[in-house]
């Protein structure tokens, strides 16, 4: 509550208006405002934002109920508490008033002590409400800052992974798009949804520790020792992210991303519902990514996914993955073409926004490369690399 709470007194009777005003003006801690009817009172309320309105019920034109209704329906005024003065003793009228938003009643005639006591009680409530609102606003700002910091940290980690594992950034974006599709259709709670989406972006983080000789190789070409090392990356990744405050809730998804639905996976051979739901999703994303890297056709990929139901993949998730591929998978589309910096030409149209490794957005999606733009892009790339290549529309390659 403010040090000098504002009280707006509204009454068409000059004597009653003066009486109520004097009751509160005698105490310096109150700032008292006056209005002679509801219309004037509404204007003063919007201008002065009082903490409490004390209004008569019977007033010409707009009565106390309608006045209260207008105050409470205004989002900027709705937190103002409303005390109604009335000679009306019928209970049905009081019930109507409470339904309109009246916070308390005093029947006329009343004593000064009772009026001040009621006002102080309402102002204490107002003070608590204001404190809760400020706390809620501060919490919202803190959450917004945490969300921004989290996004920046994820971006940094993805850039770090990309340096060690070329193409990881693209795989992360593709994984997130699929994960977003699946969690939406499973109607998961917000916290679980966020955890799975972050895990989909960072599921490869443990591969940073793999030997250089294993980077970019197909699983089928690994030696027995290389396969053993590869199976360790989810455990390493889970350990890495669990050390970051706020990331522990999805580390188990990363740890169990190579568990198979039939129990033949790693590291613990979990089966079916024993596997965390997020890990079952990651298993589908990893499986899909592996098929893409092998260069299999869309038809072959769909056949492989369907064949793996109840074996490698959770059937519910594999069905949703199939739906995503059929409906939305841009990775299998011919609309976008990934280009290295040396392959970019004047006239090409950007299919995605272009970002530098620092996170700075350099060029927007849909822009056409001009000679000067391309030169500046190449110069910036030398100081602040553009990781993951640049996507252009396939139709613009011949321009």
Looking from the CA of 129 toward its CB, the CA atoms found within 13 Å total 12
What are the tens digits of pLDDT across the range 221-254? Answer: 888 898 898 889 999 989 888 877 666 778 899 9
**CATH topology for 337-396?**
Molybdopterin biosynthesis moea protein, domain 2 (3.90.105)
Work out whether the CA dihedral 74, 78, 81, 87 comes out positive or negative: positive
- pLDDT band of 332, cuts 50, 70, 90: very low
Fold of 165-332: Hypothetical protein af1432 (1.10.3210)
Contacts of 214 (CB under 8 A, 6+ apart): 222, 226, 229, 230
- Written as six digits, the tokens of 356 are 């530098």
Q: Do 165-332 and 337-396 agree at the fold level?
A: no
Helices and strands, counts by H and E, the chain: 14, 9
C-alpha 127/C-alpha 113 separation (Å) is: 21
Cβ contacts of residue 399 below 8 Å, gap of 6+?
A: 347, 348, 349
Q: Quote the percentage of the chain above a pLDDT of 70.
A: 91
More confident residue, 214 or 145: 214
- HSE of 79, CA atoms in CB hemisphere, 13 A: 16
Average the pLDDT over 113-128 and give the result: 88
Tens of pLDDT, residue by residue over 340-351, are 888 889 999 988
All structural domains of the chain with their residue ranges: 6-136, 165-332, 337-396
Q: Residue 108: what are its φ and ψ, rounded to 5°?
A: -85, 145
Please state whether beta strands 6-10 and 31-35 pair in parallel, antiparallel, or not at all (unpaired).
parallel
For domain 6-136, give the fold: Rossmann fold (3.40.50)
The reported pLDDT for the residue numbered 145 is 61
Token pair in block for residue 149: 């910091």
CB atoms < 10 A from the CB of 198, how many?
24
Given the DSSP bridges, would you call strands 354-355 and 361-363 parallel, antiparallel or unpaired? antiparallel
pLDDT for 58-76, tens place per residue? 898 899 899 999 999 999 9
Nearest alpha-carbon partner for 174 in 318, 333, 364:
333
Q: How confident is the model at residue 257 (pLDDT cuts 50, 70, 90)?
A: very high
């Amino acid at each position: 509550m403010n040090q000098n709470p504002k009280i707006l007194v509204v009454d068409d009777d000059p004597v009653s208006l003066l009486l109520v005003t004097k009751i509160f003006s005698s105490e310096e801690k109150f700032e008292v405002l006056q209005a002679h009817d509801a219309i004037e009172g509404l204007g003063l309320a919007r201008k002065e934002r009082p903490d409490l309105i004390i209004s008569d019920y019977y007033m010409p034109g707009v009565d106390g109920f309608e006045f209260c209704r207008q105050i409470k329906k205004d989002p900027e005024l709705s937190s103002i508490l409303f005390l109604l003065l009335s000679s009306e003793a019928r209970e049905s009228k009081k019930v109507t008033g409470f339904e309109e938003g009246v916070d308390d009643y005093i029947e006329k005639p009343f004593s000064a002590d009772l009026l001040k006591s009621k006002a102080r009680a309402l102002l204490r409530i107002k003070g608590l409400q204001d404190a809760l609102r400020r706390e809620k606003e501060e919490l919202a700002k803190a959450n917004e800052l945490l969300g921004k910091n989290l996004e920046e940290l994820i971006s940094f980690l993805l850039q770090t992974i990309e340096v060690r594992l070329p193409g990881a950034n693209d795989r992360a974006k593709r994984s997130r798009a699929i994960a977003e599709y699946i969690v939406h259709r499973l109607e998961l709670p917000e916290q679980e949804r966020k955890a799975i989406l972050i895990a989909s972006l960072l599921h490869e983080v443990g591969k940073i520790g793999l030997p250089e000789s294993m980077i970019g190789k197909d699983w089928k070409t690994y030696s027995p020792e290389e396969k053993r090392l590869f199976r360790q990356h989810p455990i390493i990744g889970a350990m890495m992210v669990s050390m970051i405050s706020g990331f522990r809730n999805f580390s188990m998804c990363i740890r169990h991303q190579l568990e198979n639905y039939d129990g033949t996976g790693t590291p613990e051979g979990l089966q079916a519902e024993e596997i965390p739901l997020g890990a079952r999703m990651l298993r589908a994303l990893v499986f899909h990514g592996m098929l893409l890297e092998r260069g299999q056709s869309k038809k072959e990929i769909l056949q492989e996914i369907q064949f793996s139901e109840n074996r490698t993949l959770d059937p519910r998730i594999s069905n949703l993955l199939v739906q995503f591929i059929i409906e939305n998978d841009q990775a299998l589309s011919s609309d976008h073409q990934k280009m290295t910096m040396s392959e970019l030409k004047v006239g090409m149209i950007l299919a995605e926004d272009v970002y530098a490794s620092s996170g700075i957005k350099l060029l927007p999606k849909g822009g056409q490369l001009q000679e000067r733009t391309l030169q500046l892009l190449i110069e910036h790339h030398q100081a602040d690399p553009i990781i993951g290549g640049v996507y252009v529309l396939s139709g613009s390659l011949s321009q």
